[in-house]
């Protein structure tokens, strides 16, 4: 469930960033600088959401053998002892 939430967060953040930066570029190309500051704030929020989604995705590493969430990074699962990297 949380893995899907992380992927949805990342996808939404990328969509917001691309759309917002495109809108900002069009405003600048048109010479309309009134909404550029607002677009910059929206882009910053999208970037923070992207970082949050990536952090959630990294924090939810699961063991390929027992399926439990790994609390720390390492070569072996602390629950079942199975190798978790390089597979």
pLDDT in tens, 17-73: 999 999 999 999 999 898 899 999 999 999 999 999 888 887 777 888 998 888 777
Which pLDDT belongs to residue 12? 92
Give the integer Cα–Cα distance in Å for 46 and 50.
6
Which pLDDT belongs to residue 59? 76
Structural domain range at position 9: 1-87
The count of domains in the chain is 1
Q: What tokens appear for 5 in the block?
A: 């939430």
Phi, psi of 27 (to 5 degrees): -65, -45
Local confidence band at 1 (pLDDT 50, 70, 90 cut-offs): low
CA distances from 37 to 22, 24, 28, 85 (A): 14, 9, 11, 44
For residue 15, the surrounding DSSP H or E stretch is: helix 2-30
């Amino acid at each position: 469930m949380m893995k899907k939430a992380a992927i949805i967060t990342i996808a939404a953040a990328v969509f917001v960033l691309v759309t917002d930066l495109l809108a900002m570029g069009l405003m600048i190309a048109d010479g309309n600088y009134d909404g550029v500051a607002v677009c910059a704030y929206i882009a910053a929020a999208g970037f923070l959401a992207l970082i949050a989604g990536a952090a959630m995705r990294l924090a939810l590493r699961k063991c390929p053998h027992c399926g439990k969430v790994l609390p720390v990074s390492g070569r072996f699962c602390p629950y079942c002892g199975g190798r978790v990297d390089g597979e």
